[in-house]
Amino acid sequence: MRLSQLFFASLRDDPADAEMASHRLLIRAGYVRQIGSGIYSLLPLGWRVTRRVEQVIREEMDRIGCQEMEMPVVQPADLWRESGRYQKIGPELLRFKDRTGRDMVLAMTHEEVVASLLHDLVSSYRQLPLLIYHIQTKFRDEPRSRGGLIRVREFVMKDSYSCDLDTAGLDHSYQLHYEAYTRIFGRLGLDAIVVGADVGIMGGSLAHEFMVLNEWGEDTLVLCERGDYAANQQIAMVGKPEPPNEEPMATEEVATPGAATIADLARVLEIGADRTAKATFFVTGDGRLLTVITRGDYEVSETKLANAVKAYSLRPAQAEEIRAAGMVPGYASPIGAHDTVVIVDDLVARSPNLVAGANREGFHLRNVNVGRDFSPDMVTDVVNARNGDPCPKCGAAVALRNGIEVGNIFKLGTDFSIPMGATYLGEDGERHPIVMGSYGIGVGRNVACIVEAHHDQKGIVWPAEVAPYPAHLVTIAAAKEPRIAEEADGLYARLKDAGVEVLYDDRDESPGVKFTDAELLGMPLIVTLSPRSLAAGGVEVTVRATGERSVKPIAELEAQLRTAATG
RNA sequence: CGGGGCGUAGCGCAGCCUGGUAGCGCACCUGCUUUGGGAGCAGGAGGCCGCCGGUUCGAAUCCGGCCGCCCCGACCA
């Protein structure tokens, strides 16, 4: 591609709203342009990288026998009513009506369509197992997009679906994906770590996320320092301290004016936050008020909580709702409360003589004991793992790190096949639900993560596997020395004939501009053709990643690029 | 949805407080010079100053409403 013809513009200044390196560089180098919040156009360079990433994914999916197909983005809402997600999913599912007033949605994923197709096409156990995938645009109306290209509303995703006879088959399909994903991220130059993940309220039995560590990541990961445990904080189960061994003592009201927070309470009473019981309040999507009791030095995990009470959504409760249940915000405890579901963290249930709210403005109770002073509706682990907590496997400290989810694998089970009637007739003559799995990779997010991992002060440094072009040919003084343009044109044309497309900066720009752009754009090799290089014997080849330079005959470079392309 | 910030040429910004012909750098066009690290000279083009309304003789500037974008939080198969 001749740079003089390429639909692109590089920018000298950083765009004002880009903070992440990937966002800043992809805009500056002319790969993408923002159209709206969380909505981007891919310019030719960006599209080329995207297709190369897709190609890696495609090859590895094909390798495990996954068949590529294509399913629609716009879908009738009825399909989503059948699975129940139309009702359960919030406003991130974009709903609209077509001209006849029929309810439609923009798909976020394609479990419904797959299940519906299975219903139509699969009737016998002989047709299973089956692996299918497509690479396609998704839309999720995120409340707030952020982090440049990491969290967007419209994005391209590879989603695949496994369809098996039974859970043993699902285990195998899951394992195939696990291995394929490991190869994919390796080829993309991403250091992805695998963490245990939330299976969500839709059910399912097991899920893993492939994560790239990044300070801008929106997921918090819990990682054992010895490498024995890795999980998304949403579900991470870590060890908890042993509570003091004390006999329960008589409760005692104590004045704590103005101490409406745990920090104030601990200061006023001169005790540790670990001797307090904190009450936090949520309302479920179906209207239940949850009173959650954790120790004062822990935070509630909303994911664990939602799973424990089987809630599709949670929101913080309003002060009025808390009062209506007989509690006083700031000084609340379940003692004397009514019309609320009381969930107690297991550590609190084992801890004697905590300080809890007295449900009276300005007062707390000492020596509160779960079971004696109030009865929980449920006792379970509902807190977030903390930095330094013990690893559940080996007891070493865990660290909290931010990560970006580049892929996930998920055992769905029969959560879609049963409601959608995706069944097969078994060898036993009985009808069975198809056992499904679902597996995603966000393509655009991977492109951004590759740039995050592969850039320097000057610009992008593409790994050869995904670079839009293998080399960036730069001419110097071509306007003045006709020989330069002739040699470059010839090299470019011969490579093109051989099926090797390089980026050719044929613009009449000063050397500084051309070198700066070449480094910004990030092709693996920068090939300079100038009077000086010709005098030295050919072209000067700079390896973008290392800065290493060498001069070689034009024919040698040509052969090298042709070999790399076919190799 | 809550808090904060911003909206002036393709990009980065000044002007606004204190109302009076819309500016700067880069990019762009023409000509000449220049050609190994963001060139020089000369000339030129490009603006519903986010939108609507109000105040005023006069609004980019003051007032009100709305929209959009960014950041933090809430949220997040």
A323: CB partners within 8 A, 6+ apart: A329
Q: Distance (Å) from CA A448 to C1' B69?
A: 21
Task: Give the residue-averaged pLDDT of A316-330.
Answer: 89
In whole angstroms, what is the distance from residue A232 CA to residue A150 CA?
18
Task: Give the residue-averaged pLDDT of A11-32.
Answer: 91
Q: Distance (Å) from CA A451 to C1' B63?
A: 47
> Which tens digit of pLDDT belongs to each residue from A302-319?
999 988 998 878 888 888
Q: Contacts for A226-230 with beta carbons within 8 Å, 24 or more apart? A: A226/A391, A226/A394, A226/A396, A228/A391, A228/A393, A228/A394, A228/A396, A229/A391, A229/A392, A229/A393, A229/A394, A229/A398, A230/A193, A230/A194, A230/A195, A230/A196
Chain-centroid distance, C-alpha A26? 19
Kindly tell me the burial class for residue A349, based on how many C-beta atoms sit within 10 Å of its own C-beta (0-12, 13-18, 19 or more): middle
Q: Distance (Å) from CA A270 to C1' B44?
A: 76
For residues A528 and A464, the answer to whether their CB atoms sit within 8 Å is: no
> Which tens digit of pLDDT belongs to each residue from A351-368?
999 999 999 999 999 999
From residue A261, give the alpha-carbon distance in Å to each of A21, A267, A277, A359, A442.
39, 10, 11, 14, 41
Note the pLDDT of residue A385: 94
For residues A206 and A411, the answer to whether their CB atoms sit within 8 Å is: yes
> Which tens digit of pLDDT belongs to each residue from A30-45?
999 998 889 999 999 9
Note the pLDDT of residue A198: 87
Q: Is A408 helix (H, G, I), strand (E, B) or coil?
A: strand
β-strand pairing of A354-360 with A398-413: unpaired
> Which tens digit of pLDDT belongs to each residue from A374-394?
999 999 999 999 999 999 999
- Which band of pLDDT confidence, cut at 50, 70 and 90, is reported for residue A203? low
Both tokens of A534, joined, read: 């010709």
H-helix segments, A68-166: 77-83, 85-88, 111-121
Task: Give the residue-averaged pLDDT of A237-261.
Answer: 93
Detail the DSSP E strand segments found in A419-524: 423-425, 431-433, 435-442, 471-475, 503-505
Top CATH class, A42-69+109-236+400-448: alpha beta
- Which band of pLDDT confidence, cut at 50, 70 and 90, is reported for residue A149? confident
- Which band of pLDDT confidence, cut at 50, 70 and 90, is reported for residue A202? low
> Which tens digit of pLDDT belongs to each residue from A521-566?
999 999 999 999 999 999 999 999 999 999 999 999 999 999 998 8
> Which tens digit of pLDDT belongs to each residue from A118-145?
999 999 999 999 999 999 999 998 888 8
For residues A369 and A361, the answer to whether their CB atoms sit within 8 Å is: no
Nucleotide B72: closest residue by CA–C1': A146
> Which tens digit of pLDDT belongs to each residue from A461-516?
999 999 999 999 999 999 999 999 999 999 999 999 999 999 999 999 999 999 99
Select the CATH number that applies to the domain covering A471-566 from these four: 3.40.50.800, 3.40.50.2300, 3.20.20.370, 3.30.70.240: 3.40.50.800
From residue A262, give the alpha-carbon distance in Å to each of A38, A281, A330, A340, A360.
38, 15, 9, 22, 16
In whole angstroms, what is the distance from residue A438 CA to residue A435 CA?
11
Interface predicted TM-score (ipTM) of this complex, two decimals: 0.93
Q: Is A407 helix (H, G, I), strand (E, B) or coil?
A: strand
Q: Distance (Å) from CA A19 to C1' B18?
A: 36
CB A108 under 7 Å to nucleic chain B: yes
CB A202 under 7 Å to nucleic chain B: yes
Which CATH architecture describes the domain A252-380? Answer: Alpha-Beta Complex (3.90)
Note the pLDDT of residue A311: 84
A358: CB partners within 8 A, 6+ apart: A253, A328, A331, A333, A335, A364, A365
Task: Give the residue-averaged pLDDT of A261-267.
Answer: 90
pLDDT score of A201 more than 80: no
Nearest to A241 by CA among A375, A346, A394: A346
H-helix segments, A243-332: 262-269, 302-308, 319-324
Could you say which residues 219-258 of protein chain A have a Cβ atom less than 7 A away from any atom in strand B? 234
- Which band of pLDDT confidence, cut at 50, 70 and 90, is reported for residue A399? very high
For residues A449 and A50, the answer to whether their CB atoms sit within 8 Å is: no
A85: CB partners within 8 A, 6+ apart: A93, A112, A202
Note the pLDDT of residue A310: 86
Would you kindly state where each structural domain of chain A is located, as residue ranges?
Answer: 42-69+109-236+400-448, 252-380, 471-566
CB A511 under 7 Å to nucleic chain B: yes
Cα three-residue angle A469-A472-A478, rounded to 5 degrees: 145
Q: Do the domains A42-69+109-236+400-448 and A252-380 sit in the same CATH topology, yes or no?
A: no
Mean predicted lDDT score pLDDT of chain A: 94
Note the pLDDT of residue A89: 86
Q: From the alpha carbon of A151, which nucleotide's C1' atom is closest?
A: B76
- Cross-strand pairs, A163: A130, A436
